[in-house]
Amino acid sequence: MEIDLLRPLVIIQVIKLPLTSPIQLQEAQSFALLSVSQQTAYNKLSSSMAGKLQGAGFSLVGTFFLLLFSCNVSRTVFAAKINVGGPVNWTFGFNYTDWALKTAPFHVNDTLVFKYDPPNSTTHAHSVYLVKDLPKFIACDLKRAQLVANVIQGGGEGFEFVLSKRKTYYFVCGEKQGFHCSTGLMRFFVRPVKRC
């Protein structure tokens, strides 16, 4: 319990600015989700770099910009690779909306891995589509949806999709004219947040 209480203090110490906006608070909460060892490594790197720059004549403003730079680097360094559905993978009949809610939060630059067997005599074909908005997601409406992985791309190590922007992504299986999405529960959405 003490660690949870100390995490926000670490963030204030690292960026040396008060958390005044909702965005800064959300970013601080995202940083607080890192493991203690990841936070320690990040803090040591940031403090070390800030100290060296201040010793070399840089101002606090210069140090702040360096910390912002290191924050941007950490977004890709700490990016996670998440297997969609966990050990179940991308398959008919599993509740992916529930899985996404339990797995959240997702972060910008995290990678979702969709694993599914190519179609054969014992498995159904699966695919991955992005639909544009919530009404199309709810209706499993594939009109104007974007195909991101066809029926064979999920084989082997799976298909990787990077959550590159801070927006809502609506994923559905497009097979059987939306039947896998509606009846098979093969749909979920995520809205990644900034890592720091």
For the ranges 2-6, 68-72, 130-134, the one whose mean pLDDT is highest: 130-134
- Compute the distance between CA of residue 69 and CA of residue 52 in angstroms, rounded to an integer: 15
Residue 111 included in any domain: yes
Question: Does residue 97 sit in the same domain as residue 183?
Answer: yes
Reported for 67-74, long-range contacts at CB under 8 A and 24+ positions apart, including other chains, are 67/14, 67/15, 67/16, 70/42, 70/45, 70/46, 71/196, 74/42, 74/195, 74/196
Q: Which ranges of the chain would DSSP assign to H, the alpha helix? A: 2-15, 22-32, 36-55, 60-77, 96-103, 134-139, 179-182
Question: Does residue 95 sit in the same domain as residue 72?
Answer: no
Cα angle value 37/43/44 (rounded, 5°)? 90
Give Cβ neighbours of residue 108 (< 8 Å, ≥ 6 apart).
75, 163, 164, 165, 166, 192, 193, 194, 195
- Compute the distance between CA of residue 174 and CA of residue 177 in angstroms, rounded to an integer: 6
Question: Does residue 69 sit in the same domain as residue 155?
Answer: no
User: What are the tens digits of pLDDT across the range 134-176?
Assistant: 999 999 999 999 999 999 898 888 999 999 999 999 999 988 8
Among 77, 102, 135, which residue terminates a domain?
77
Among 17, 51, 77, which residue terminates a domain?
77
Task: Answer yes or no: is pLDDT of 133 > 70.
Answer: yes
| 159 three-state secondary structure | strand
Residue 21 included in any domain: yes
Task: Answer yes or no: is pLDDT of 47 > 70.
Answer: no
Task: Answer yes or no: is pLDDT of 129 > 50.
Answer: yes
Residue 196 included in any domain: no
Task: Answer yes or no: is pLDDT of 100 > 50.
Answer: yes
Number of structural domains found in the chain: 2
Residue 30 included in any domain: yes
Look-up: residue for tokens 């319990």? 1
Question: Does residue 29 sit in the same domain as residue 88?
Answer: no
Task: Answer yes or no: is pLDDT of 21 > 90.
Answer: no
pLDDT for the residue numbered 40: 52
Per the structure, the complete domain to which residue 157 belongs is given by: 81-190
Among 20, 48, 77, which residue terminates a domain?
77
Question: Does residue 60 sit in the same domain as residue 129?
Answer: no
User: What are the tens digits of pLDDT across the range 48-96?
Assistant: 444 544 554 544 444 334 334 445 444 445 789 999 999 999 999 999 9
Question: Does residue 124 sit in the same domain as residue 184?
Answer: yes
